[in-house]
Amino acid sequence: MRTYDNPVIGGFHPDPSVCRVGEDYYVVCSSFEYFPGVPLFHSRDLVHWRQIGNVLDRPGQLEIPDGAPASDGVYAPTLRYHDGRFYMITTNVSAGGNFLVTSDRPGGPWSDPVWVDVPGIDPDLAWDEDGNCWCAVAGVAVARIDTESGKVLEGPFRVWSGTGLRDPEAPHLYRVGEWWYLMLAEGGTADAHSVSVARARSPRGPFEPAPANPLLSHRGTGLPIQCTGHADLVQAPDGTWWMLLLGTRPRGHFPAFHVLGRETFLTPVEWAHGWPRVGPVRESHPAPSSLSPLQPEPTRDDFDTADLAPHWISPRRRPQGSWSLGERPGWLTLNATGDSLDRPGHTFVGRRQQHHDCRAAARLDARTGRAGLSVRMDEAHHYDLEVSGGEASVIARIGPLRQRVAVHALPSGPVTLVARTRTSDLVPPTGRDALGVRAGGPDTVAFSLESPDGTVPLAELDGRYLSTQVAGGFTGRVIGMYVTEGSAAFDWFEYVPAGGPGRSGS
């Protein structure tokens, strides 16, 4: 029997919403304070996914002010296809509220926002047999809306508040047979996260809760996948049903830490007595009937294209003058827009960390600037390998503390900066050099320099301080290039999972 491994989209890709068009599946995820927003993935089998763009890829679609805190921005998108058109609806909690955009093609271009006059977050769209569009929001309230203007035509009115757990959110409406099903997440997005479902004959209700709620929860279990929730359903062409949902993979000593953020998992769904039924989400499941493996994503970007690949993201914004692929052909040139990674407004271009064990490296020419490689959770939690004034420094920012932990003199010319994460041989060490505490973090983040003469290790840091449990918020680690003074040019950037290239969920 063929199997697949979870997660199917690794790293900080939470709140998945899925739709199928013919043989093709598309998924979008939350992006929070990062630009461009709402990453969009394509698959032919629900297991192998490739990012084909970002729905919100220009400033006119997405405004996130510099004053917006980390983990604000874009929450919980829903992706749907109706009558030949794609719809994506989401919430910008930092500016404006709920809005939808549309496109004839999943790869875009997507329209300018249509603001939807329904309060709340986590909006959903569903159409009835008469062509009416229904929008559900966290709470759970439902309204009939005009998708062209965003105006409310009926409602909103509350239809169900879940089973009584906190934060009933992420509602999705489905028409299956003669029933309308309303699925939502509740219990909060941490360890108590769960999925519950109710049904009614009409989107207006009244909704009858499933007798076996919650439909899914890993709370109180020792399973390696935790925080399961915020789910969406899709039916395959062969009639089978599947659920895409978020979850985490905590590691380390109690209370355990997750550093990659909330990831996208896949699990099969059965129907029994008119209700969906889901078992525990496993690291490995029997595969869908038709697997269509994709070629592995390139591990190295040589910056020799006309635009940045869609996986590159920046906090809040990416002004045109802050980066260039043409100023020095074959290099990514970054120009400083702020003088510190500790405050919003800096120039940073990064990608999500998607594997627990990985190596990220960049070739940097920083003759006229202060620049480097950063492993980032937010402005108050990041580890940096910085080059300035002929020296390389490793800097740890943990909450209110900022400390330079290593310094090394550099020769003239470009230098290769390396950040590795590993889940074995953790710090603090054991034996004579022990610090009196166990090596209980989720991983170790190690920085080094590489040259033709060999590798120069600089520092090894406990990874727990770049985790959700320490930093808080809804995102995960992003590894990237930055400049905080003058300009810097990067010849290439390479990201390799331990053991070599592989799919994002391995």
- What are the structural domains, with CATH classification, of the chain? 3-286 (2.115.10.20), 300-497 (2.60.120.200)
Per-residue model confidence as pLDDT tens digits over 256-269: 999 999 999 999 99
**For 85-112, what is the mean pLDDT?**
97
Residue 387: which of 469, 470, 447, 303 has the closest Cα? 447
User: What was the pLDDT predicted at 504?
Assistant: 38
Rounded to two decimals, what is the model's pTM?
0.96
**Of the candidates 207, 208, 166, which has an alpha carbon nearest to the alpha carbon of residue 189?**
166
Is residue 15 annotated as part of the catalytic site, yes or no? yes
Residues 295-331 have pLDDT tens digits of: 777 899 999 999 999 999 999 999 999 999 999 999 9
Instruction: Compute the average pLDDT of residues 403-432.
Output: 88
Which tokens belong to 101?
A: 């955009």
CB 357 within 8 A of CB 249: no
Q: Which of 33, 72, 122, 169 is catalytic?
A: 169
Cα distance between residue 340 and residue 242, in whole Å: 45
Which pLDDT value is given to residue 392? 96
Asked if 169 is an active-site residue, the reply is: yes
The residue whose two tokens read 């006229």 is: 368
Q: CB-side exposure of 399: number of CA atoms within 13 Å?
A: 8
Question: Per mean pLDDT, which range of 121-135, 337-351, 406-420 is the poorest?
Answer: 406-420
Alpha-carbon gap, residue 283 to 333, rounded angstroms: 40
- Find the catalytic residue in 15, 33, 263, 386: 15
